[in-house]
A and B are shown apart, each in its own frame.
Chain A
Amino acid sequence: MLLEVRDLQVEFRTREGVAKAVNGVNYTVDEGETLAVLGESGSGKSVTAQAIMGILDMPPGKIAGGEIVFQGKDLLKLKEEERRKVRGAKMAMIFQDALSSLNPVLSVGAQIGELFTVHQGMSRKDARTKAVELMDRVRIPAAQERVGQYPHQFSGGMRQRIMIAMALALEPDLIIADEPTTALDVTVQAQVMDLLAELQRELGMGLILITHDLGVVADVADRIAVMYAGRIVETAPVHEIYKRPAHPYTKGLLESIPRLDQKGQELYAIKGLPPNLMHIPPGCAFNPRCPMAQDVCRTDVPPLYEVSPTRRSACHFWKETLDAGQ
């Protein structure tokens, strides 16, 4: 087990009250495994990732409970200085918008090289040589010449490759990619995703892929965790979930993908809006939008039921959902 998140709870204290962004998330990532975390905006997937990385803004954020066990150590119990040494070296993060995630006043070579100077005390000249190697590795053409250029001189896809190069620099054991391809256009998305998947296989890293793009997930993920209102509602191996979802929310997500054989028909959409995190509905958070909701859903929070040894679903009616198929 590379990473285990146990009952993680994150709150944001605001003037209007406490927003419970993450309410008891559990998931695990093995060495070399790709876990896709799926969910709408505001479902807590990025906040969970930030808590794992230790880059949550605190305050206003606050980790209210739980454990994040990484390579046998609870990260939340480490001192900030020890935690800092883990970041970048043992686990790294790829951000959504590469343009705003790269410092505009530093050359890309300097930014990639920074990892080597910070963590390994390498000289700036050696770090620069390493940066060129990494840029080659993520297939940036003419890396030698471009290493001294600035982020705004690169295209979107190239910038995301630079982010990947930075994340991979010290060959970490875990990479968290927070919507790595959302800001890119479709053809570039595929290239960047392929590159990421390939490098991950090569280096045998665990990968947490945060996304709301089901198409991306199907190609690269081993397992999926679906999040809703700060909780995991379903986890399953990727192919099983596509065939037979065990939670009405997952089912709704899958049905809202446009498909060629449904040409001319109205596209399905899950009714309603995600809940306000300051007033999460009692019982199952999804009940106001769920087509299958019964009385029990409005009173009892569903635990994560074991559907099979590899699957979990937080739905009182997972059996019925599963049987309904897709």
Chain B
Amino acid sequence: MPEPQPPEPYLSGGGRAPEDGAIAATGAGGAMDLATSEGTTLEKTPGGPEGTGPAGKPRSLWSDAWRDLRRNPIFIISGLIIVFLVFISLWPSLIASGNPLSCDLAKAQEGSQAGHPFGFDGQGCDVYTRTVYGARTSVTVGVCATIGVSLLGSVLGGLAGFFGGSWDAILSRITDVFFAIPVVLGGLVLLSVVTSSTVWPVIGFMVLLGWPQLSRIARGSVITAKQNDYVQAARALGASNSRMMLRHILPNAVAPVIVVATIALGTYIALEATLSYLGVGLKPPTVSWGIDISAASPYIRNAPHMLLWPAGALAVTVLAFIMLGDAVRDALDPKLR
């Protein structure tokens, strides 16, 4: 029985593609990074354009990081991809003239043809148009859920780490409770009662179940940063609590939060697909990559293009956010400059 075998390895291979891509991309990026940083040190030594003389403005950590980022090819590439994604999320009709909801069953599963470069899906809808329109939902869900989770998680976790004591104990137990809720089961229970077809209940659900993860990371890195001698030294020089937190602890604790948040962003986009597949996420009149991927997966052998385009778009999006997070983290660590 050789017939039923192929789909499985094919699928898992398809699933792994973004990972492989990520490794290859960061590897190449690392090499490029090295080249540029060498270039800049050479250019800096004779008092280059970025001279640090008294005439130059006093620089902060953030302006240094920004200066660093502008030269990082990884940041530029991922930034451009993200800007493009945001652009098509806001104005999809500018690059796709069709209507994602006008479909012609007669053309179901047909491949690429004039005017329809990505072909048609199982319902005869234009895959190109649906992929472009799907960006809006996926980007909205991913970005909003990540922002919500990061803000809530890092504020609560950071305060717990900084002040410790009973506040920390209570918060840690609450995060434990949330960790005990299985995400998919929680989604089935909570989202099945929601009737709204917008993306907000899904985002709200992700923030509700996602913040403990970030909170735990933020708490841990604040505790680590707090124990550093320089925080005590800052206190010995008369720095207030808020100054110690914002200037000495936060910049030293933010890196792990950024990394986890950008990886989480990818998972939230994927989670949206999972929930939509289970029928509790977004509902069909909404166009999303998740819905399209799950709709296309049974036909992977007959019409792979139906899956590959939305899945490819998803992979590129997730990869771009992870690369962006990586570049930002590197820029915030002066030792890598």
Contact = CB atoms under 8 A, between A and B. Distances in A.
A97 B229 CA distance: 8
B239 interface: yes
Contact of A148 (B59, B236, B333): B59
A105 B334 contact: yes
A144 B331 CA distance: 24
Interface stretch (B49-57, B107-115, B275-283, B316-324): B49-57
Contacts of B234: 103, 114
Nearest to B56: A148
Contacts of A105: 61, 251-252, 332-334
B233 A125 contact: no
Contacts of A109: 58
B116 interface: no
A281 B52 CA distance: 59
Contacts of B233: 93, 95, 101-102, 163, 166
A interface: dominant SS: helix
Interface residues of B, number: 34
Contacts of B53: 144-145
A93 B233 CA distance: 8
Given A103-B252, A104-B335, A110-B60, A132 B238 contact: no
Nearest to B232: A55
Contacts of A104: 230, 252, 333-335
B240 interface: yes
Interface string A143-155: 0111111101000
A163 B239 CA distance: 15
A58 B209 CA distance: 35
B65 to A, nearest CB: 9
A110 B58 contact: yes
A103 to B, nearest CB: 4
Interface in A124-144: 124-125, 127-129, 132, 144
A85 B238 contact: yes
A115 B248 CA distance: 14
A100 B231 CA distance: 9
B56 to A, nearest CB: 8
A107 to B, nearest CB: 7
Interface string B295-335: 00000000000000000000000000000000000001111
Contacts of B228: 100, 103
B52 A147 contact: yes
Interface in B231-275: 232-240, 243, 247-248, 251-252
A10 to B, nearest CB: 16
A88 B237 contact: yes
Given A85-B238, A105-B332, A107-B59, 5 more contacts: A55-B232, A86-B238, A106-B248, A110-B58, A110-B60
30 contacts: A85-B238, A92-B237, A95-B236, A100-B229, A101-B230, A102-B230, A102-B233, A103-B228, A103-B248, A103-B251, A103-B252, A104-B230, A105-B61, A105-B332, A105-B333, A107-B64, A107-B334, A110-B60, A113-B58, A114-B234, A115-B238, A119-B238, A124-B58, A127-B58, A145-B47, A147-B52, A148-B59, A150-B334, A150-B335, A166-B237
